[in-house]
Amino acid sequence: MSTAVALHLLAGGLLLIPLSYRAIPQQPAPKERWVMPITIETPPPPVFPIEVKFKPKATHTPPTTVPVQVQTPVISEPAVVDNATFALPAVPEAVSDSAPAIAAPSGPVEAGQLQYLSSPAPSYPVAALRAGQQGTVLLRVLVGTDGRPAEVSVQTSSGHRALDLAARSQVLRNWRFQPAMQNGQAVQAYGLVPVSFSLN
């Protein structure tokens, strides 16, 4: 009996298969189209020559030395008396063993022309390059005792704000100077630095 039930279930299952079958609809054949490729030539971007000419006037000035006067001790000869039976030697004056005290400078000194240790040229501002701007900026720089610029201000403008700002920023961030010396000590000093921007 179980065989008969199994056969009936198998036959019923086979009858259900055609009901779940779906035919795949056939796609219509695509129509042929003619495609013509269109090429659009784009001109190459214009090339602008970028050239920054910068030649700082590096004049080698030897550091000035200030002579220090040292007092020489004055020793007087013993007094000789003709009528006396003995002579007393004179007491020498008190002489200080140290050199005279050197007063520290109260503020920055004017150095005029500064000596450069590192002075990379600033990059030409793109807006100034496109506008064809050029000129020379004269900067007043306060150099610290370590040779780094502490303050940078525009003494004489190039006539173009972009060039002035580029020169000031480059000097303040990347330039190094020989610190000014006074009485053998490094001191803060002001100096003038020209920065030129030229398209030639």
Q: What pLDDT, in 10s, does the model give residues 18-60?
A: 655 566 777 777 777 777 777 777 777 666 655 556 555 555 5
Provide the number of structural domains found in the chain.
1
Q: Is residue 165 part of a domain?
A: yes
CATH number, residue 141: 3.30.2420.10
For residue 162, being part of any structural domain is answered with yes
For the entire predicted model, the pTM comes to 0.47
Tens digits of residue pLDDT in 70-110 = 444 444 444 444 444 444 455 555 545 454 444 455 567 77
Tokens for 43?
Answer: 């001109």
In a domain, 176, yes or no: yes
Is residue 173, in this structure, part of any structural domain at all? yes
The C-alpha atoms of residue 106 and residue 130 are separated, in whole angstroms, by 47
Residue 141's domain spans which residues?
118-197
